[in-house]
């Protein structure tokens, strides 16, 4: 299937891959700094929204190239890339394109679309997540939340006082005490004390608020699922 729009779709895939690379850099920086930047939130939004747009544009191109010429009455408006959780939902989605009987019109395309549906395989659930998150673009994606893993940075003495600091921003010299306990300038940590509790916080990943989904993994899966769908649909007979 050769169409200028096909080339444009592939160019958009290259763009979303680039955005994902920028997202990975932003996440790594924010995890190290223990912060959630606006850039990270915007890039997360852009990855998901771009994937949804690519899927819809691919569906439109396939429809106009393969199906529209066979219809006696075209739909008044287009639809979306179907991401159905069951057969009824799939037929309803295809009804937007006026092709509920797609299998009778183009069996190969119907089989290809069905193979990408969430009700066909668990790995396809990502398409429903892309659609769901992209639909929230007017309210924006919810901020990612961190998960903290205890190991060494919060200091409490006898359970009565707590001191926090960021080792990336603070360097202790000789003679410094925390909660009355001397700090070893070589290790940058208080010396061992039976009444001292030491814990280090490590930000390991970002998760979407409200769902607990790993934001990096979701965006990674979204990009790869989009590429898989585009390849299958544009190369279908």
pLDDT over 80 at 12, yes or no: yes
**Statement: residue 32 has pLDDT above 50:** yes
Give the pLDDT of residue 159.
52
Question: CB of 183 within 8 A of CB of 190?
Answer: yes
Please state, as a whole number, how many other Cβ atoms lie within 10 Å of the Cβ of residue 83.
Answer: 24
196 beta partners: 157
Segments making up each domain of the chain, as ranges: 4-142+210-234, 144-206
Mean pLDDT along residues 28-55: 91
Torsion angles phi and psi, residue 172, rounded to 5: -95, 135
- 146 pairs with which residues across the strands? 206
**Structure tokens given for 43:** 């890039």
Q: Which two tokens stand for residue 68?
A: 């529209």
Is 202 exposed, middle or buried (CB count within 10 Å of its CB: 0-12, 13-18, 19+)? middle
Give the tokens for residue 205: 């990943």
pLDDT of residue 143: 56
At residue 4, the pLDDT reads 85
Average pLDDT over the chain reads 83
pTM: 0.77
Q: Give the tens place of pLDDT for each residue, 151-185.
A: 333 444 455 566 666 666 678 888 887 777 788 88
Instruction: Give φ, ψ of 15 to 5 degrees.
Output: -65, -45
Mean pLDDT of the 11-29 span: 96
pLDDT-derived band at 121, boundaries 50, 70, 90: very high
pLDDT at 140: 43
Contacts of 19 (CB under 8 A, 6+ apart): 43, 46, 47, 50
């Amino acid at each position: 299937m050769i169409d200028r729009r096909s080339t444009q779709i592939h160019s958009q895939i290259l763009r979303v891959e680039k955005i994902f690379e920028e997202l990975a850099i932003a996440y790594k920086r924010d995890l190290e700094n223990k912060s959630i930047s606006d850039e990270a939130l915007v890039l997360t939004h852009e990855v998901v929204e771009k994937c949804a747009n690519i899927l819809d544009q691919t569906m439109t191109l396939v429809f106009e190239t393969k199906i529209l010429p066979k219809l006696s009455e075209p739909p008044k408006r287009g639809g979306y890339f179907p991401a159905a959780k069951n057969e009824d939902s799939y037929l309803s989605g295809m009804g937007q394109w006026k092709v509920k009987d797609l299998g009778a019109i183009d069996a190969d395309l119907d089989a290809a679309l069905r193979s990408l549906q969430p009700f066909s395989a668990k790995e396809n659930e990502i398409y429903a997540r892309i659609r769901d998150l992209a639909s929230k673009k007017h309210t924006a994606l919810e901020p990612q939340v961190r998960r903290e893993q205890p190991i060494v940075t919060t200091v409490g003495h006898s359970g009565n006082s707590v001191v926090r600091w960021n080792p990336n921003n603070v360097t202790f010299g000789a003679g410094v005490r925390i909660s009355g306990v001397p700090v070893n300038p070589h290790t940058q940590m208080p010396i061992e004390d039976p009444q001292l509790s030491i814990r280090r916080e490590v930000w390991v990943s970002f998760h979407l608020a409200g769902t607990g989904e790993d934001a990096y993994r979701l965006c990674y899966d979204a990009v790869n699922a989009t590429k898989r769908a585009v390849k299958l649909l544009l190369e279908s007979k």
